[in-house]
Amino acid sequence: MDEAAVLPRQRPAPAVQGGKRRPKREREGAAWVFLSPWVLGAAVLTLLPMAVSLYLSFTDYDLFDPPSWVGLRNYTQMFTEDPRLLRSVLNTLLYVLVAVPLQLALALAVAVALKSMKRGKGFYRSAFYAPSLLGASMSIALVWRALFNDGGTVDNVLGSLGLHTGGWVNRPGWALLSVALLTVWQFGAPMVIFLAGLQQIPKELYEAASVDGAGRWRQFVSITLPMLSPVLFFNLVLQTIQAFQVFTPAFAVSGGRGGPADSTLFYTLYLYDRGFTASHMGYASAMAWVLLIAIAIVTAVLFRTSRSWVFYANEEGR
Amino acid sequence: MRRPITLAAMALALCLALAGCGGGGASTAADSKVTLRFTWWGNADRAARTEKAVAAFERANPGIDIQTSYSTYESYKQKLATQAAGGDVPDLIQLDYRQISQYAGSDVLLDLGTQRKALPTEDMDSGLLKTGQVGGVQYALPMGVGTQALAYDKEAWRKAGLRAPKPGWTWEEWADALRKLKAAGYERPMTDPGSMEDWFEVWLRGQGKRLYGADGQAAFSAADLARFWAFTSKLRKEGLVSRAEDTTQMAGSVEDSPMGRKRAVAEFNWDAPSAGYEAMYGDRLALAPMPAGPDGTPGQYYKPSMLLGIAAGSTHPREAARFLDFLLNSDAAADILGVDRGTPVNGRQRTRVLPKVTGFQQQVAGLQESLEGKLKDPPAAPPRGDNGLQSTFQRDYDQVAFEQASPREVAEDFLTEARTELRP
């Protein structure tokens, strides 16, 4: 694989030029014809369900009887009388705070190591990226459950070293950590983006720094990190949004219930539980909208803080 | 050169997208066969037997093609509810006793009275036929009869010097048996029954109480539930039932349960699904009746193990009825299915099948024969909303088992949720 493949192509769009230009309206018509499959898809498969879900969030709907309007009751119930919802919010926050920084740190470390590699770079990059392709699947989550179970592989290996763990996924204090590890393990996607970002940093900066006698750590802190901060920010936003929506690993590891003892009951899992197990689709829809708004707020906060630490070389008048 | 290729690619993508939309309908319209969809839940053994029965039916009815699919109970339940909401219910569906109230009350099921000619019910037990009726209308037919059971390893029982439990043995005698098993070297011999509402119901009925009243509300108190959980917690602390870490992993299949993982030598289960242990225990596997109340009042009961219904929206109700008739009334199907879905409801099939079963199915037949005439009437179909409570029960018990809250506190929580879920 070549570096350019992971970067957006920066070729200018072919401008329409030449002799006879068709009227603008007609060209737009052609554009819509070609766009129609995607526009239709977005409208029918995304916007329409979203509108329906917004409507359902103000109703009591059990999938069988027609929805009945209850106004804001679902929302007030969420904020005033649902202790398990609070539990799920705390679990999700804890998970985001553990998994995202660990994953990004690992991705950056591996990217820096790979960058300075002379041979076999392509092989290692693919090898580290592979878990990101597999990770979202149910089967990997099930393998994870088997690995970290009581009597599973991890337990056996540690046990042979005299550290009998008794399994992770079946104990309230450890289950969340095993799910977080599954996420950290999928550091391939942010790693590839970091790697691309690293290639963009001008070599002269490092050369100048070594002439000035800066060591590798100093170079990393004073050149790599600031120059990479836009990419770091991009990864941070992307991974945070993804982490808030984590579902499959927790579903598989806990058998769909968020157990043991609600310790892996993430927000999305509780949403699913309310909707499909308890048949409260209205309540689940309200939860989905609150999640959407919460993610929007977190993202806005991240953007706000970014002003103080993200450095865009072009703007700073180079 | 670039542009024509891009345009061609886009045109191709458009064609594919359009073809994708139309593809499904075109191929089925082409052949004149009637296609019926049949979904159920179960394990691999049941799947093999069901496929065989389906194949026999298709041979006898070349004009009908039956497409089957199955999954575990939990996912089946969720998928079917979603299909019902979307108006896309398969022609033939298998239902649990717990689902009847909901599905019959929501116009999802066909009134089977309209297909009486193709689907005679004269040979079926009239008491059991009632389990498929709501408001006097027959919406589903029971496929078999099952009951709760203790599945255990005969070898362990023999080593502990225990005799096979008889109908009427009490919960205290059961606990004493566990103590003997532990003394014989079987650490935590039994799966903790505290996480399953099914076993709580048996315990409750043994005391002359019941889960739901005629008004569809919970008919037991928080004190009742707290006593049951205190009992199981005492056994857990004595080292007689499975650890919380093992109990919490149960997800409705034998493979996830302590006995299925060889961490225990005894476990409560329903009789027919206990076939799942056979692969691990072979002919050491035995079934015994459930423990009874202190005065010998039986808590277990005969329940329709599952019911079959036809979707109200099915375009081929007559063919679907013929298939149901084949499954429930024909000798050919009875011979193939045996007691896999419980003992047959059709009296003629019952007398035909019971003496002929082999292997583990003999245990099921033997258990049911030993309980014949001894059990009380089954409870009425559970109210709507009970479906989700089963999961709540198991989740709440985690709090008890991991000792995060006292049985009393958790029992109060459970009843609070039950009251909201069961609101009419």
CB A259 within 8 A of CB B248: yes
Q: Which of A64, A167, A259 sits opposite B395 (nearest CB)?
A: A259
Residue A152 has pLDDT above 80, yes or no: no
Averaged pLDDT for residues B361-367: 88
Q: Tell me which residue of B266, B262, B254, B295 sits closest to B180, measured CA to CA.
A: B266
Averaged pLDDT for residues B24-39: 66
Under the banding of pLDDT at 50, 70 and 90, the label for residue B179 is: very high
Q: Which residue of B has its CA nearest to A65?
A: B106
Measured between beta carbons, the chain B residues lying within 8 angstroms of A167 are 245
CATH topology identical between B33-143+304-364 and B148-300+385-421: yes
Measured between beta carbons, the chain A residues lying within 8 angstroms of B102 are 64
Burial tier of A37 (Cβ tally within 10 Å: 0-12, 13-18, 19+) = middle
Partner-chain contact A261 B404, CB within 8 Å = yes
Partner-chain contact A261 B105, CB within 8 Å = no
Measured between beta carbons, the chain A residues lying within 8 angstroms of B422 are none
Residue B23 confidence (pLDDT): 39
Under the banding of pLDDT at 50, 70 and 90, the label for residue A2 is: very low
Measured between beta carbons, the chain B residues lying within 8 angstroms of A256 are 74, 251
Residue B141 confidence (pLDDT): 92
> pLDDT tens digits for A49-103?
999 999 999 998 888 888 889 989 999 998 988 888 999 999 999 999 999 999 9
> pLDDT tens digits for A96-108?
999 999 999 999 9
Under the banding of pLDDT at 50, 70 and 90, the label for residue B47 is: confident
Partner-chain contact B249 A63, CB within 8 Å = no
Residue B72 identity: T
DSSP B230-265: HHHHHHHHTT-B--HHHHTT--SSGGGSTTTTTS-S
Averaged pLDDT for residues B217-227: 94
Measured between beta carbons, the chain A residues lying within 8 angstroms of B398 are 172, 259-262
Residue B135 backbone class (left: φ over 0; alpha: ψ -120 to 50; beta: rest): left
Q: Which of B13, B14, B391 sits opposite A277 (nearest CB)?
A: B391
Residue B21 has pLDDT above 60, yes or no: no
Residue B68 has pLDDT above 70, yes or no: yes
Measured between beta carbons, the chain B residues lying within 8 angstroms of A262 are 395, 398-399
Percent of all residues in chain B with a pLDDT value above 70, rounded to a whole number: 92
Residue B201 has pLDDT above 70, yes or no: yes
Token digits of residue A164? 């009998």
Q: Which of B17, B392, B402 sits opposite A172 (nearest CB)?
A: B402
> pLDDT tens digits for B234-273?
999 999 999 998 888 887 778 788 998 889 999 999 988 8
CB B371 within 8 A of CB B170: no
Write the class of the CATH domain B33-143+304-364.
alpha beta
> pLDDT tens digits for B184-195?
999 999 999 999
Mean of pLDDT over chain A: 83
Residue A315 confidence (pLDDT): 53
**Any idea what DSSP says for residue A312?**
-
Residue A251 confidence (pLDDT): 84
Residue B10 has pLDDT above 60, yes or no: no
Residue B9 has pLDDT above 60, yes or no: no
Write the class of the CATH domain B148-300+385-421.
alpha beta
Partner-chain contact A261 B78, CB within 8 Å = no
Write the class of the CATH domain A80-309.
mainly alpha
Residue A176 confidence (pLDDT): 87
Residue A4 has pLDDT above 50, yes or no: no
Q: Which of A36, A259, A279 sits opposite B248 (nearest CB)?
A: A259
Partner-chain contact B402 A64, CB within 8 Å = no
Residue B16 identity: L
Mean of pLDDT over chain B: 86
Residue B372 has pLDDT above 80, yes or no: yes
CB pairs < 8 Å spanning A and B: 83
Domain residue ranges in chain B: 33-143+304-364, 148-300+385-421
> pLDDT tens digits for B294-336?
999 999 998 888 899 999 988 998 899 999 999 888 888 888 8
Tell me how far CA of residue B419 lies from CA of A227, B296, B389, in angstroms.
59, 31, 10
Domain residue ranges in chain A: 80-309
Residue B12 has pLDDT above 50, yes or no: no
Averaged pLDDT for residues B67-79: 86
Q: Which residue has the higher pLDDT, B170 or A126?
A: B170
Residue B18 has pLDDT above 70, yes or no: no
Residue A6 has pLDDT above 50, yes or no: no
> pLDDT tens digits for A246-286?
888 888 877 777 778 888 899 999 999 888 888 889 999 99
> pLDDT tens digits for B74-120?
788 888 988 888 888 999 999 988 888 888 877 889 998 888 888 88
Measured between beta carbons, the chain A residues lying within 8 angstroms of B249 are 149, 170, 255, 260
Residue B158 confidence (pLDDT): 94
> pLDDT tens digits for A159-181?
777 777 777 778 888 888 888 88
Residue A135 confidence (pLDDT): 62
Partner-chain contact B394 A258, CB within 8 Å = no
Partner-chain contact B78 A273, CB within 8 Å = no
Interface of A with B (CB under 8 A): 14, 34, 36-37, 62-65, 149-151, 166-167, 170-172, 255-262, 273, 276-279, 281
Q: Decide if the complex's ipTM is over 0.95.
A: no
| Whole-number Å distance between alpha carbons of B68 and B57 | 13
Q: Choose, out of B384, B402, B417, the residue to mutate when testing the contact with A (most A CBs < 10 Å).
A: B402
Q: Which of B78, B105, B391 sits opposite A257 (nearest CB)?
A: B391
Under the banding of pLDDT at 50, 70 and 90, the label for residue A313 is: low
Partner-chain contact A279 B246, CB within 8 Å = no
Distance between A16 CA and the closest CA of chain B, angstroms: 11
Partner-chain contact A261 B388, CB within 8 Å = no
Averaged pLDDT for residues B362-383: 86
Q: Which of B84, B392, B401 sits opposite A63 (nearest CB)?
A: B84
Tell me how far CA of residue B340 lies from CA of B132, B198, B267, in angstroms.
19, 20, 19
Residue B99 confidence (pLDDT): 86
Averaged pLDDT for residues A279-303: 93
CB A269 within 8 A of CB A247: yes
Q: Which residue of B has its CA nearest to A14?
A: B3
Under the banding of pLDDT at 50, 70 and 90, the label for residue A299 is: very high
Residue B26 confidence (pLDDT): 39
Percent of all residues in chain A with a pLDDT value above 90, rounded to a whole number: 32
Averaged pLDDT for residues A293-305: 94
Partner-chain contact B13 A37, CB within 8 Å = yes
Residue B357 confidence (pLDDT): 83
Beta strand pairing status for B92-95 and B303-310? antiparallel
Residue A306 has pLDDT above 60, yes or no: yes
Tell me how far CA of residue A46 lies from CA of A18, A38, A42, B22, in angstroms.
39, 11, 5, 21
Percent of all residues in chain B with a pLDDT value above 90, rounded to a whole number: 45
Residue B401 has pLDDT above 90, yes or no: yes
